[in-house]
Amino acid sequence: MSRQKSADLAPRRAALYIRVSTEEQAKQGYSLPAQREDLEGYAKANGYAIAGVYVDEGKSARKKFTSRREFMRMMEDVKAGKIDVILFIKLDRWFRSVADYYKIQEILDAHNVAWKTTQEHYDTETTNGRLYINIRLSVAQDESDRDSDRIKFVFASKVARGEVISGSVPMGLRIQDKHVVPDQETADIVRELFAHYKTHGSIGGAMAHIRETYGIVLWDHTVRKMLRNPLYKGVYRDNQSYCEPLIPPAEFDAIQTLLEGRSVRQNESGRIYIFSGLVVCAECGLKMSGSCAGAKRANEYRSYRCRNATIYHRCSHRAQMHEEKLEQWLLLNILTELADWEAQLEIEAARMKRPKFDRAAVQRKMERLKDLYINELITMDQYRADWAKYSAQLQEAQEAEPPQTPDFQGLRQLLSDALSSLYPTLSTAERRDFWRGVIQEIRLDGDNSPRVIFRG
């Protein structure tokens, strides 16, 4: 009994969520320190225990919520039962999309997590309160869309005049009087990089040449982006003469043809890796690449490694996974992995709240709405507003419907039959195609423990 009382008396755990977009950084009351001070003061005044602070800086509400890293981290903590209430200063810090709001609200409801704003008052427990939230979100979304349209128009006008719309340009170029011009200090380096690749067809060779000649270290992905950047031939978006070309357009286009030809060409050894494109490093999310040791084809020792760890030293996953070992593990454990995957999806489906929505009733309201307008009982503005509201309800209900459960029985039967009789007769290329048809990813953690994600 005393243990129960102590649990009841424990303060509610509050997550402080702070978001500010780039254009709002300097606005009074929206800066990060101002938001944090306000939220911490509110939590202290109301007896909340701060469970964590989640700050998304430079993130616009117009972007999908999945692009907000701290927001997604907070939602993981919600699912883990670490949060009782989420605090933010205003509703527009949370969402400006009605559809996104309801997607997240379902998750919060499923885990009994509430939310509060410190500078506004909302009531989510009454019909009028929820209607008010819908109206505020709809207005905020409309304002955001209008702002976005105005910004796109201004940017399009600037691009048409050859003016810059950001302060960042690639190596070899610089900004002068709001226009992009060649950078005299680095332009020749970029020209030599392009020329070396055009002559030798090797990105690694071009990188080594620049490093040895100029002492400049370039990363593989940086060079690939440079070689494909049309700004070097003077093109940006729809403006074909945006700036002075650093690389002649004909030469730039010839290099694109060379890049495309090499990207689809098979490796010179003709090796086929069974799990190519499937193995993912669980530590950093990068797809692991195949490598081979052994001079003779009969003694080849194929494995998969994380390039972020072994080449760029940006990941701790340095262990390699041998292809034969991974293949044998899959043959022994694939049906068990499928059963675990099926159970996980069933648990997630059981937790999902099925929305109670009468689609036919909403459609009848839309039909009556037409009659009201035809009989001049409502104005055109009223008709449009109500029609948009009902259409949004239908769309939200459709998006909220749970996804269809995959045919696990059929997949289980396929694997049972194929692994016992068909698989041993397959060639290496056919085995690769077989696994690609069944598996979406094989995630390897730092200890090379596999986790299989099946295709839906």
State mean pLDDT over 250-257.
92
pLDDT at residue 6 in the model: 46
- Cα distance between residue 369 and residue 371, in whole Å: 5
Mean pLDDT of the chain: 80
Answer yes or no: do 32 and 126 share one domain.
Answer: yes
Whether 164 maps to a domain, the answer reads: no
Domain termination site, one of 237, 264, 291: 264
Whether 448 maps to a domain, the answer reads: no
- Check if 97 is active-site: no
Out of 18-32, 196-210, 393-407, the most confident range is 196-210
pLDDT bin (cut points 50, 70, 90) of residue 129 is low
State mean pLDDT over 74-78.
93
3-state SS assignment for residue 202: coil
**Chain centroid, CA 428 distance in Å:** 33
Domain with residue 196: its CATH number is 3.90.1750.20
Answer yes or no: do 108 and 178 share one domain.
Answer: no
β-sheet bridge partners, residue 163: none
* Domains: count for the chain: 3
Q: Which tokens sit at 103? A: 């997607």
Return the C-alpha torsion angle 383, 384, 387, 389, nearest 10.
-120
Domain termination site, one of 264, 291, 315: 264
Whether 270 maps to a domain, the answer reads: no
pLDDT at residue 1 in the model: 45
Whether 147 maps to a domain, the answer reads: no
Whether 331 maps to a domain, the answer reads: no
Whether 36 maps to a domain, the answer reads: yes
Answer yes or no: do 117 and 197 share one domain.
Answer: no
H or E element in which residue 8 lies = helix 2-9
With 70 as the cut, is the pLDDT of residue 63 above it?
Answer: no
pLDDT at residue 51 in the model: 93
Answer yes or no: do 214 and 115 share one domain.
Answer: no
State mean pLDDT over 82-104.
80
Domain termination site, one of 375, 400, 425: 400
Answer yes or no: do 177 and 233 share one domain.
Answer: yes
- Cα distance between residue 235 and residue 173, in whole Å: 13
Answer yes or no: do 126 and 193 share one domain.
Answer: no
**Chain centroid, CA 446 distance in Å:** 23
State mean pLDDT over 336-364.
73
Whether 298 maps to a domain, the answer reads: no
Which range, of 40-54, 291-305, 414-428, averages the lowest pLDDT?
Answer: 291-305
What range defines the domain where residue 41 resides? 11-140
Whether 118 maps to a domain, the answer reads: yes
- Cα distance between residue 441 and residue 133, in whole Å: 40
Answer yes or no: do 16 and 126 share one domain.
Answer: yes
Query: Which residue in 2, 6, 21, 60 is the catalytic one?
Result: 21
